[in-house]
Amino acid sequence: MIRLLYFASLRERLGVGEEQLAAPPGVGDVQSLLAHLRARGGRWSDALAPERPLLVAVNQEIAAARQAVGDGDEVAIFPPVTGG
Amino acid sequence: MAVSISVQSEPFDAAVEVSRLHQANPRVGAIVSFLGLTRDVNEGEPVQAMTLEHYPGMTEKALAAICAEAERRWPLEGIRVVHRIGELRPTDPVVLVAVASRHRSDAFRACELVIDYLKTRAPFWKKERTPFGERWVEARASDESAEQRWREGSP
C-alpha cells in the first residue's frame, strides 16, 4: 500500500487528508501516481490540475516527477510552503 | 555543534532560548537571532488570527537538513530553531532562528540562510482569518528569490 497525505488548501479541496492506496497497475513514479489520482475526475482532476503549483514529497523528502513510488512509500502532496 | 529544533503549539521566550545558546560555552562570541511575528495586516486586509499547519515528521527532517547545510558552510557553535503551530494572533512570535558562532559574520550569514530556506523548504502552511473570511497564504516569489541567493556559485 502507498500511504497518501494531503495538506493545507489541497486537503480542503479534496475533502480528505489521508488514504491508503494499493499501487495501481501502471503507477510507478510520482507523475504516473498524480495522473492516476487526476483520473478520478471531479474535485481530483481540478485540485491536482497540472497548472497548480503543487509539491510532492516521497518518504518526507521533496521528490521530482520521475521519482519511483511503490508499496510501503509515504507520498505527500501539498501547495508551496508558507511558514516562517 | 549543538542543533536544537522544536515545532510546538506552546509559546516560547526568545530571550531564554538565546541565552541557552551561549551559557556554559565560552567559545561563543556572537549570537544572531531572527524573530518572526504575526502581523495584523497582509495583502492590504486586516488579519485577526492565523493558523499554522505542518507535516509532522517531514518538518523536523527538513529543518535538520537546513541546519546541517548552515553548519557545513560556516564554523558555528550552535543553532536553535523554534516554530509555532496552531492558532496565533497578531504580535505573537511565530518563529525563532538563533545562531551562535565565534565571530559575528558567520552567525549573521547562517541565520539568514536558515530562515530563507525555512520559508521555502519546511512544510508549514498559514491560513489567515480576516473579516471577509479565511484564506490560505500564497507563497511569495520574493521568498524564492531570497533562497536562490544562497545557491552555490551565486554572487
Q: Per the domain annotation, does B82 fall within a domain?
A: yes
pLDDT value, residue A61? 95
- Residue range A53-67: average pLDDT? 96
Q: Per the domain annotation, does B123 fall within a domain?
A: yes
Q: Does residue B86 register a pLDDT over 90? A: yes
pLDDT value, residue A50? 94
- Residue range B57-74: average pLDDT? 98
Residue-wise pLDDT for A10-37, tens only, equals 999 999 999 999 999 999 999 999 999 9
pLDDT value, residue B50? 97
For residue B62, what is the nearest residue in chain A, using CA coordinates? Answer: A61
Q: Per the domain annotation, does B155 fall within a domain?
A: no
Q: Per the domain annotation, does B85 fall within a domain?
A: yes
Residues near B101 by beta carbon (within 8 Å), at least 6 away in sequence:
B28, B29, B30, B31, B74, B75, B76, B77, B107, B110
Q: Does residue B155 register a pLDDT over 60? A: no
The gap from C-alpha B149 to its chain's centroid, in whole angstroms, comes to 17
pTM to 2 decimal places: 0.94
Question: Residue B67: which domain range?
Answer: 2-148
Band of pLDDT at residue B89, cut at 50, 70 and 90:
very high
Task: Identify the residue with better confidence: A51 or B152.
Answer: A51
- Residue range B100-112: average pLDDT? 98
Chain B hits for A56, CB-CB cut-off 8 Å, are none
Whether ipTM tops 0.85, in short, is yes
Q: Grid coordinates standing for A63?
A: 521528490
Q: Per the domain annotation, does B154 fall within a domain?
A: no
Q: Per the domain annotation, does B73 fall within a domain?
A: yes
Out of B115, B121, B125, name the one closest to residue A8 (CB). Answer: B125
Closest-CA distance, A5 to chain B, in angstroms, reads: 9
- How many domains, in total, are found in chain B? 1
Q: A61 and B61: CB-CB below 8 Å?
A: yes
Distance between CA atoms of residues B127 and A34, nearest Å: 25
Closest-CA distance, B26 to chain A, in angstroms, reads: 30
pLDDT value, residue B154? 65
Q: Which CATH architecture has domain A2-78?
A: Roll (3.10)
Q: Does residue A58 register a pLDDT over 60? A: yes
Q: Per the domain annotation, does B63 fall within a domain?
A: yes
Q: Per the domain annotation, does B153 fall within a domain?
A: no
Residue ranges covered by each domain of chain A: 2-78
**Where residue B70 sits, what CATH number does that domain have?**
3.90.1170.40
Band of pLDDT at residue B144, cut at 50, 70 and 90:
confident
